Amino acid sequence: MKPANPSRRAFVLGAAALAVGAGIGAAARPCAASCDALRPPGAADEAEFMARCIRCDRCISVCPTDVLYPLGIEAGVLAVRTPALDFRAGSCTFCDLCRQVCPTEAIGSVDPYAPEKGRIGGAQVLPARCLAFATPGSCGICVDACPYGALSFDDERRPVVDDSKCNGCGECVRICPANVNTSFSGGDERGIRVATGKQMEGVEA
Ligand code: SF4
Ligand code: SF4
Ligand code: SF4
């Protein structure tokens, strides 16, 4: 049999060591990205949610809009398989099913019309990505789509968020076409996002 090329073998071993190191790095950050994950509506605060959630997957399986997904190792080892929301897949209708199936009361009930009592997050327009900022009047899909009347136009027909009405349902993010049109500039953000409390305070996870 032909012996392995030593330089190739060293390269493969080095790459494997790097991959293991990256995995250990992620595992060593027990609450890395998860601290900034958008949790199901009515979820307890992050520390309590992490303590209560038994990673049973029931909320993810029952969600009719497929907005819930299990976090992976990149969120930190303790957060693996805890549920988070991805508005590229769907939005939250506050149907309450995830709360009903949760065996540990990690998820609570939310009145979507009273966001001051609890919400998923808060919408933020991203001027660098929003089409209406690039060309005023060219888009306003999110304003029409918001089920809670939390979006309106400014004088130049650019979207503005009314924070007192926004519950973080994510419908504006789901429907925003900006990623399709601005993807050449990199990243996968759309023209609007739903920020966690930490992101809104400018705190990095
Ligand atoms: S309230 Fe309904 S739509 Fe929202 S995350 Fe839970 S199951 Fe999904
Ligand atoms: S149903 Fe409750 S315990 Fe199960 S994964 Fe969802 S939040 Fe965690
Ligand atoms: S997340 Fe978007 S669609 Fe949902 S209430 Fe807030 S502004 Fe409206």
- Whole-number Å distance, alpha carbon 99 to ligand 2 midpoint, is 8
* CATH code of domain 13-110: 3.30.70.20
Helical segments of 56-124, H only = 58-62, 97-101
End-to-end Cα distance, the chain: 51
pLDDT score for 199: 76
pLDDT in tens, 5-37: 444 444 444 444 434 334 434 334 445 555 689
**Cβ-based neighbours of 92, under 8 Å, separated by 6 or more:** 40, 41, 65, 67, 85, 120, 168, 169, 170
Give the number of the ligand closest to the Cα of residue 93.
1
pLDDT in tens, 149-193: 999 999 999 999 999 999 999 999 999 998 765 545 556 789 999
Residue whose CA lies nearest to ligand 1 atom number 6? 98
Ligand 1 binding pocket includes 92 (Cβ within 6 Å): yes
In the chain, ranges of CATH 3.30.70.20 domains: 13-110, 119-205
Say which CATH architecture domain 119-205 belongs to: 2-Layer Sandwich (3.30)
pLDDT in tens, 81-102: 999 999 998 999 999 999 999 9
Total-model pTM: 0.81
Residue whose CA lies nearest to ligand 1 atom number 3? 92
